[in-house]
Structure 1
Amino acid sequence: MIGRCCTFLLLLSLFYFSEAVKAQSEELAVLRKTLEDLTSTVHFQNKRLDALQKIVLRQRMRARDEYYCKSCKVHYNEWTKGSTLSETLFNLNPNSKKAVNSSSFYQDNKPKPIGNAQKLQRKERLLYQPSSAASAEDNIVAFYAYFSADVRSLGLSETLKYDVVKTNQGSGYHPSSGVFIAPEEGYYVFTWTIRLYHYGDSTAENFSTELIVNGDVYGSAYLRAHLDDDDQSTATAVAHVNEGEDVYVRTHSSYSSTGSIRSNTHGRSSFAGWKIN
């Protein structure tokens, strides 16, 4: 009897220990996911800081160039005082009763030697010329991602996390969460494709998805696959998105989807978007 009690207590202890290990594993998985999201966010913020630094540098160079242009114009107006070129040449040599020629003008008004400070300013102007427009890649925001494998057993309002990222110009898409965070304000095109395969015993499987823009349902798509059938559906939406707002695809919030999302080399279930202005 005592041996049975000991065995029971041992089994009970092992059960609680396994449950504790399972709980710890789940907590570690949540922490790992949180760390990945934070790392992705930090990378995105660093990209934004680099872009802002480039903008500030271009603005400074443009302001310096405008300042030099205005200074030259003011000095020229003070020198000529609205006179014609011949009157200016004549006034520069008051002892002469006639306009001086070009040779005497340059002999009498030789430019002063340039100081070190003026040389440095001139070098700065030669080295840092303002750019009229940003480079082409700085203005591009685009992403494209798809599932690496089939996805099964999805519930209501579950975000679709497209894990294989092929294009992410602007670093707006985050594969760990499946969410695109707009790095710039503007109009965007979003398109998502769902490939559905009938795995069950029913006559047909149904699947519905929603496009979420800043917490609101902006678009939806529906797909129905019959027994032993493989179908595909693509939806597209155009939306104005402010900087920092998020966009993602999820399963329908109230319509329970069945079947499984298929994604392989024969056809990918994907999510893409790009800025059009």
Structure 2
Amino acid sequence: MSHDLAAPSPGHVLVFDVVKTNVGSGYNHHDGVFTAPSQGPYVFSWTVVSWYRSYVYSELMVNSSTFGRILTNSQDIDDEHIGSGVVVAVLNPGDVVYIRVVSSVGTLASRSNIYTSFSGWKLN
């Protein structure tokens, strides 16, 4: 993600607009959704940075089901905090995976020296 987000609202899908690798072209950097091109087990990880006096509660969704959640909380201190989650899911072609905000206060940070990020790969 190339920029901070100020107080993203519940349900907001995080869009990771900087794409380093996209083998199979499953990830859409316009809407933040990965669409599985083939059946099999996939691993997904995401990292969220909350800026000073902020918190971000996020979840990884597979279709309409929550598969994992993380809370990154620096609400009571003047410091940033980083939280990461990892999920393994067996997907079918056309299944969608995305990260969305459950709740937040303050700023979700992503800048030159700290990154809010999303990655995934298929296990063979």
TM-score by length of 2: 0.94
Identity of aligned residues (%): 39
2:122 and 2:22 mapped to 1: Cα distance?
12
Q: Which one-letter code corresponds to 2:60 in the other structure?
A: L
Aligned length: 123
Structure having the higher strand fraction is 2
1:247 and 1:163 mapped to 2: Cα distance?
16
1:247 aligns with 2:101: no
Other-structure match for 1:264? 111
Other-structure match for 1:211? 60
How big is the shift at 1:270? 0.4
Structure having the higher helix fraction is 1
1:153 and 1:267 mapped to 2: Cα distance?
18
CA deviations 1:232-259 (Å, max 9, x no partner) are 111101010111110000001xxx3112
1:233 and 1:153 mapped to 2: Cα distance?
17
1:235 and 1:154 mapped to 2: Cα distance?
19
How big is the shift at 1:227? 2.8
1:154 and 1:174 mapped to 2: Cα distance?
20
1:152-167 counterparts in 2 under 5 A?
152-167=6-21
- The RMSD of aligned alpha carbons is 1.0
Other-structure match for 2:44? 190
How big is the shift at 1:156? 0.7
2:22 and 2:97 mapped to 1: Cα distance?
14
Structure 2: runs of 5 or more not aligned:
none
Q: Which one-letter code corresponds to 2:4 in the other structure?
A: D
1:270 and 1:207 mapped to 2: Cα distance?
14
1:166 and 1:207 mapped to 2: Cα distance?
24
1:190 and 1:264 mapped to 2: Cα distance?
22
1:163 alignment partner, SS class: coil
Q: Which one-letter code corresponds to 1:246 in the other structure?
A: V
1:232 aligns with 2:79: no
1:233 alignment partner, SS class: strand
2:61 and 2:82 mapped to 1: Cα distance?
20
2:104 and 2:115 mapped to 1: Cα distance?
19
Structure 1: runs of 5 or more not aligned:
1-146, 199-203
Which of 11, 28, 33 is equivalent to 1:179?
Answer: 33
TM-score by length of 1: 0.43
1:177 alignment partner, SS class: coil
1:275 and 1:243 mapped to 2: Cα distance?
12
1:47-86 counterparts in 2 under 5 A?
none
